[in-house]
A = this chain, B = another copy of it.
C-alpha cells in the first residue's frame, strides 16, 4: 500500500520550506521538531542552504536519504512542478497544503489538472491540494499548518480520521482527545484531486494500529466506493463512522460557498451508509463514545444487554435510548436470578435491569460477584454498569470490582459514570488500565452500544451481500487507485433494448414511450400489464378484443411525460363497448392540452389489481444507479414513504427495503385483505436494480409507477413506466 508509506515515512521533504515559522512553509518544520519526529527531515528550497539546523535541498531529487512523504507548500502555480520533482525523486505521497486550485475558478482548475497529470506520470499519490495536512500521532508526523502545529502533546489513540474540513476535523480530534478518545492518523483531504476520502479510509483500515476510522465529509463524486469501504470495515471488524454534513438545504448552501464538493442526496447517503454497514454520526460525542467502546477490543456478540445499576432512574433512560437503538433486555436465567438473590439486599432488584443498591460500596466482592454472575448468563451478550457520579473511595472500590469482573470474560463490560476526575483519579486509573470504557450519561452509552452492536451484527448480515453485490457489478467500479468517476467504468454494458439513439429529424429523443419503457422492463423479466397499442384510426374491438375488462386507456406520445395531468389517462372502463368513446376522449384532451405533441395512438391495457407501489431509478452523480421503492398514490409523495438502495443488490437487500416502508403493514394482510406477494416485489426490485446497473451509461431515470403487488402467488405487474435517457454526447469533463 502506497498510502501506508505516508503513515510511517522514513523521511519527509518539505517543498517550499520557509525559515519563517509564521509562514505555511515554516509550520511543519517547527511542528515536526516539537513533535519529535524521528525520521529524516528534508527542507527543499533553492533559496537556502539550511533551515533551522536542517540541510536544505534545492530540489527533492537532490535529497540524499530515504524519503516517503513530501509536504508541498509552494505557491499554486509552482505546485505541479513540485509534484513532478517529488515524484521523480521516488517519494510515494505528496500532501499539498497550497490553495488556489479548483476552488479558485478556471485557472485554478487548469492547475489542478496539471497537478494530477504530474502525479500520474511520476507515480506519486497526492493528498489535497487546499488541505491542512496530516498528523500521525504514533510516528510523530506533524505535517500540518495552523493551530494543530502547536498542539504536539495530543495523546495518541486508535482512531484514524479523514476530514474534508480540516479546521473542524482537527477540532474534533482535539475535543475527542479531551474526552478520552485519542486519534492516530488524521488527514485533511482538501480537494481530493487524486486520493479521495473513501480510498484514504480504506488505507486507514489496513493500518494495524487503527481500530476505528472516521470520515467527515460534505460529499464526493467517489461516493460509490464507500460500499467497498463498508465491506473492508466489516471484514476487518473495524467500525467506520461517517459524518455526512450538508444534509439540509442551508447546510448545502454553506458547503457550496466553502468547497467545490457536491453534497448529493441525503436520502441516498443515508441508504448507502446503511447498506455498507457504515455508522452515521452527527456530533462529536458519539465518535468519542463509540471509540471508547471499540478500544476495549470486544465486539458484542448480540444485542442482549444486562444492566446493573445503583440508580433506577439511570436504568430507565438507558432502556429508553437502548431499545430505540435495537438493544434488548432479556430476563435473567433462573440460575442468575437465584445467584443474585443470594447477594443483593432485598430492597434491591434482581431483575434486568438489576438494582444492586448503594450498599455494594461497602463490599467490593459483592459487586464483583454480581457483575460476574450476570456476565456468566448465556442469555446476556454485554453488561453495562451505572454508577451515576459516585466519587472517591466508593468509586475506587467499584472500579476494582469492575476491573476484576471484566478480566474474567471476553464479553463487553462498560461503565456509565461521571465521577469528578479530581476526586476519583485512582478509580479512573484502575478502569483505564483495565480498558473498561467510561461514558458519562446513560443515553450516550445506550446510543454508542446500540451502534456498535449493530456493526457487530452487520458483519454477519451485510458482508455476504456486499461481496455478492460487488461481484454483480463487475467489471469492478471499485478497483484501481485513481480518481475520477468510478461508476463510469461500465460504459461497455449492453445498450437498452429499445434503441436510445437520436431518431426523427436528427433530434435527441430523451424519453421512451410507455410501451417502450415496458418492453425494457419485460426484457428484464418484470411483468407488465397486458395491453395493445391502438394507433389513430385503429379499431379497438379488433385490436383489444382478447383483453379482459376493466381497461385503462392512456395516450402514447414521446412528447408527453405526465399523461394524467393533461387528461391523457382514463381508468376503469368496464366494457369493450365503451372503449371507442374513451379513446376519443383521451386523444381529444391530449391534443387540446399539447397541440404540438406527436401522438402515436393510445394504449388499451387490462387494469391491474393489488397494492399500489412505485419503483424508481435515479442515476446519481455521486453513487451511480440507485433504486427507490415507495408506496403508490399520495403516500410516497406526501408522506415521503420511500426507501432507497444503491444498485445492484440481491434479494435480502430488496426484502429489507420493503420491510423499511412505514406502510409495510399493508403488505401483511391488513384489515382482512390477503397478504401481498412481497417476494415477487423483492424479486422485481432486484431486476430493476440489475437493469439500472446494466444501463447506467444510457439511462438517466426510470419510473415504474404504479407497480401493483397482487396477493401472495399472484406476483407484481407494472401498469405504467417511463424511462428517461441520458443525453448522448461527449463524456462530461471531471
Q: Are A171 and B389 in contact (CB under 8 A)?
A: yes
Cβ–Cβ < 8 Å partners of A250 in chain B = 319-320, 322-323, 328-329
- Cβ of A397 < 8 Å from any Cβ of B? no
Minimum Cβ distance to chain B for residue A1 (Å): 27
- A218 in the interface, Cβ–Cβ < 8 Å? yes
Cβ-defined contact, A168 with B248, below 8 A: no
A328 to B663, CA, bound (A): 33
Asked whether A216 is an interface residue with its Cβ less than 8 Å from the other chain, the reply is yes
Among B170, B258, B638, which residue has its beta carbon within 8 angstroms of that of A666?
B638
- A259-B312 in contact (CB<8A): yes
The answer to whether B317 and A168 have CB atoms under 8 Å apart is yes
A550 within 8 A of B: no
Contact A147 B391 (CB under 8 A): yes
Pick the interface stretch among A60-68, A119-127, A239-247, A503-511. Answer: A239-247
This protein's copies in its complex: 2
Instruction: Give 1 or 0 for each of A624-651: 1 = CB within 8 Å of chain B CB.
Output: 0000000000110011110000000000
Residues of B within 8 A of A662 (CB): 638-640
Q: Is the CB of A248 within 8 A of B313?
A: no
A248: contacting residue among B255, B258, B319, CB under 8 A:
B319
Q: Is A3 interfacial (CB-CB < 8 Å)? A: no
Check A251–B320 contact: CB distance below 8 A.
yes
Task: Write out the residue numbers on chain B whose beta carbons fall within 8 Å of the beta carbon of A175.
Answer: 389, 418, 440-441
A418–B671 Cα distance when bound, in Å, is: 55
In Å, the complex CA distance between A238 and B169 comes to 36
A354 to chain B, nearest CB (A): 10
* Contacts A284-B440, A315-B258, A638-B670 given; does A388 touch B170 at CB 8 Å: yes
Q: Answer whether A167 and B317 are a contact pair too, CB < 8 Å, given A282-B443, A440-B284, A443-B283.
A: no
User: Is A351 interfacial (CB-CB < 8 Å)?
Assistant: yes
A382 within 8 A of B: no
CB within 8 A of A316: which of B255, B319, B440? Answer: B255
Residue of B nearest to A313 (CB): B165
Quote the shortest CB–CB distance from A108 to chain B (angstroms): 12
CB of A183 within 8 Å of the partner chain: no
A712 at interface, CB cutoff 8 A: no
Report the minimal beta-carbon distance from A583 to chain B, rounded to whole angstroms.
23
Q: Are A349 and B257 also in contact (CB < 8 A) when A175-B389, A250-B329, A323-B248 are?
A: yes
Cα of A168 to Cα of B311 in the assembled complex, Å = 6
Classify the interface of chain A: helix, strand, loop or mixed: helix
Report how far A444 CA is from B565 CA in the complex, Å: 45
A313 to B219, CA, bound (A): 12
CB-CB contacts below 8 Å: A285-317 with B: 285, 310-317
Contacts A170-B389, A175-B440, A420-B178: A353 and B254 contacting too (C-beta < 8 A)? yes
Total number of A residues with any Cβ neighbor in B under 8 Å:
86
Inter-subunit contact B666/A311 (CB<8 Å) = no
Contact assessment for B441 and A165 in the assembled complex, using a CB-CB cutoff below 8 Å: no
Please, what's the 1-or-0 string for A320-343, where 1 marks a CB less than 8 Å from any CB in chain B?
111110001100000000000000
Residues on the B chain within 8 Å of A319, using CB: 248, 250-251, 253-254
B150 touches A444 (CB 8 A): no
Chain B CB within 8 A of A713 CB: no
In the complex, are the beta carbons of A216 and B165 less than 8 A apart? no
Bound CA–CA A246/B602 (angstroms): 59
Whether A164 sits at the interface, judged by CB under 8 Å, is yes
Q: A169 is contacted by which of B168, B313, B441, B670 (Cβ under 8 Å)?
A: B313
Q: Which residues of the partner chain B approach A168 to less than 8 Å between Cβ atoms? A: 311-314, 317, 388, 442
- Contact: A283 with B313, CB < 8 Å? no
- Residues on B with C-beta less than 8 A from A258 are 312-313, 315-316, 355
| Binary CB contact string for chain A from 352 to 370 against chain B (1 if under 8 A, 0 otherwise) | 0101001000000000000
Task: Give me 13 other A-B pairs in contact (C-beta within 8 A), A171-B388, A639-B641 excluded.
Answer: A151-B391, A163-B313, A165-B316, A168-B311, A169-B313, A170-B388, A171-B311, A174-B388, A248-B319, A250-B322, A282-B320, A634-B663, A638-B662
A-B CB contact pairs (8 Å), 13 listed: A146-B358, A147-B389, A150-B392, A168-B388, A171-B311, A246-B320, A251-B316, A258-B312, A258-B313, A282-B320, A283-B444, A638-B663, A639-B663
Across chains A and B, which 9 residue pairs bring their CB atoms closest together, nearest first? A165-B313, A168-B313, A167-B311, A258-B312, A171-B388, A174-B389, A251-B320, A175-B418, A250-B323
